[in-house]
Chain A
């Protein structure tokens, strides 16, 4: 089952090793072809027979894979004229998660606050809460739900300050002699109904949950903040030395 692909990057091995059913593997291969431009938009792709020969599989297997991609809206099969590429898989511009306070401020200035709400924390601990929705080019990208201790955070942000910027960039967190680093945990969740509404994504769409926590020098909580970021926008780029 020798395979030779039309892609610039030639095939590395063949399909017959263990793994997913062949048509599923073909879907992934074809989608990559489209995503990487091997099959450009508007161009005709090779015929089913040619692809079947190329990958050493049955015509029906190729047809099965192409049907899947057609349903995805990436290609269109036209009787007698062949199969054409309609579009590339969606690749939204990513939001790089900040690694430093400077990058954090830079990220926040790129986003616009499109909704804001200030309130008391529901648990009666004297904490205050703020909820902000951030958009990029009028598309919601992130919701921040945060709370802070108004007795410990100094200077204590005013209501209008709270509605204008994330608590994580507030004046009271700038002095590293008085507060800890911003501890941060990132997990991947799915949008519940409310989050889906706020981010304008389907329920159960992937959401990155980014939790931040800053304490004062005695370990008392100053600010706790949760970002719900559209999952498809999340990107974290890191560089580290080996050894």
Chain B
């Protein structure tokens, strides 16, 4: 029952292999990935490979903590993530059981083309909470030559994934478009899908920040943990910014894949 892979190898090496996506070599890359993230990746891999079979009980917290040389709190943090994802389920006094195999990657890829962007928004905008709107307008002059308009309809939401808040998204839609489409539509469909026909070009910038008090509260993460900020300006054929957005992601599972040709 005990995970074969993890009893054979040390935590560091094993977690790194999980990080690298499997049987790649264990060259000494950095330990820049937080321990609980490495545990999540490792546990998911144990479930995926059947080392921890569906329906069976997994090792108790204490023995996992001991095995990997980490604190119980860290193991609990990883387990609660998996529980939220619906992969494991714990009943007090009976232990934790594997409920299902993961259906999708924990990683959230920041898209670098329009099709992927819209596809992503359809996938992830299904579950959200409307929140108070910001009292500032975005300043995107550092990433776009587009012309800002006078009036935008603002939508600000906390988006959920695997039942966890992962993104605070603020969208600014050209008021003319919002009026033409009807505000009711924004409650039903992803913003990007609605404005898709109006766009010709996107300028996007990705940067790293740390959670300020409001972000920490909304994303339910500790103050000052890393976040990823994605800003976008969507231009129409006339070069007007008909869509702008600022997304603040919790940083731990964001990934960008970008080749250099």
Distance of A9 Cα from B252 Cα, bound (Å): 33
Q: Is the CB of B34 within 8 A of A189?
A: yes
A24 within 8 A of B: yes
Q: Is the CB of B32 within 8 A of A145?
A: no
A125 CB contacts on chain B under 8 angstroms:
25
B215 CB contacts on chain A under 8 angstroms:
28
Distance of A209 Cα from B196 Cα, bound (Å): 32
CB closest residue in chain B, given A11: B135
B199 within 8 A of A: yes
Taking the closest CB of chain B, its distance from the CB of A237, in whole angstroms, is 5
Q: Is the CB of A242 within 8 A of B114?
A: yes
Distance of A104 Cα from B258 Cα, bound (Å): 13
Distance of A241 Cα from B26 Cα, bound (Å): 39
Give the B interface residue count (CB, 8 A).
61
Q: Which of B205, B217, B255 contacts A237 (CB 8 A)?
A: B205
Distance of A9 Cα from B154 Cα, bound (Å): 14
A181 CB contacts on chain B under 8 angstroms:
259-261
A185 within 8 A of B: yes
Taking the closest CB of chain A, its distance from the CB of B194, in whole angstroms, is 13
Q: Which of A97, A104, A209, A240 contacts B202 (CB 8 A)?
A: A240
Taking the closest CB of chain B, its distance from the CB of A228, in whole angstroms, is 6
Taking the closest CB of chain B, its distance from the CB of A195, in whole angstroms, is 6
Of the stretches A14-22, A79-87, A133-141, the one at the interface is A14-22
Query: Interface range on chain A: under 10, 10 to 19, 20 to 34, or 35 or more?
Result: 35 or more
Q: Is the CB of A183 within 8 A of B135?
A: no
A209 CB contacts on chain B under 8 angstroms:
30, 32-33
A47 CB contacts on chain B under 8 angstroms:
none
Distance of A21 Cα from B225 Cα, bound (Å): 19
Q: Is the CB of B32 within 8 A of A240?
A: no
Q: Is the CB of B202 within 8 A of A242?
A: yes
Distance of A14 Cα from B134 Cα, bound (Å): 8
Q: Is the CB of A29 within 8 A of B135?
A: yes
Q: Which of A20, A32, A176, A185 contacts B217 (CB 8 A)?
A: A20
Q: Is the CB of A239 within 8 A of B32?
A: no
A231 CB contacts on chain B under 8 angstroms:
208, 210, 226
CB closest residue in chain A, given B107: A187
Q: Is the CB of A236 within 8 A of B206?
A: yes
Distance of A28 Cα from B37 Cα, bound (Å): 28
Q: Is the CB of A224 within 8 A of B27?
A: yes
Distance of A176 Cα from B228 Cα, bound (Å): 33
A158 within 8 A of B: no
Distance of A185 Cα from B131 Cα, bound (Å): 32
Binding site for A on B (CB under 8 A): 25-34, 37, 107, 112-114, 129-137, 139, 143, 152, 154, 196, 199-210, 212-215, 217-218, 225-226, 228, 234, 251-252, 254-261
Q: Can you list 18 pairs linking A and B with CB atoms under 8 Å apart?
A: A5-B135, A12-B137, A12-B154, A15-B135, A19-B214, A20-B217, A24-B213, A27-B212, A36-B139, A97-B258, A104-B260, A185-B255, A185-B256, A189-B32, A234-B206, A236-B258, A238-B206, A243-B114
